[in-house]
Amino acid sequence: MRIDKFLKVSRLIKRRALAKDVTDSERILVNNRVVKPSYQVKVGDLISIIFGTKTIVVRVLKIDNSTKKEDATSMYEFVQEIKEEV
């Protein structure tokens, strides 16, 4: 599954178009590498999402093509949150 679709289905980012834009702006890293929206996510990947002064890191646990809102968090586990001081 593409990274932009994974971010949308897992509800880490609300819309796929937004996920694509964030990925194009090099604010998504997988295993500490900048990736393109077409990157194929694999179980075990560490995804870092840069939100302004905050970065969250999650590990991919499973890949589903669609999921209910309640089950979305089962697709990943929260690893770390990094806050940048201004």
The predicted structure's pLDDT at residue 60: 97
Distance between CA atoms of residues 29 and 57, nearest Å: 9
pLDDT digits (tens, 9 = 90+) for 20-51: 999 999 999 999 999 999 999 999 999 999 99
The predicted structure's pLDDT at residue 84: 83
pTM, whole model, 2 decimals?
Answer: 0.90
Number of helices (H), then strands (E), in the chain: 2, 5
Residue 85 has pLDDT above 80, yes or no: no
Strand spans (E) along the chain: 28-30, 33-34, 46-51, 54-60, 76-83
pLDDT digits (tens, 9 = 90+) for 4-23: 999 999 999 999 999 999 99
pLDDT digits (tens, 9 = 90+) for 54-77: 999 999 999 999 889 988 999 999
Paired strand residues for 16: none
The owner of tokens 């806050």 is: 83
Tell me what the pLDDT averaged over the chain comes to: 94
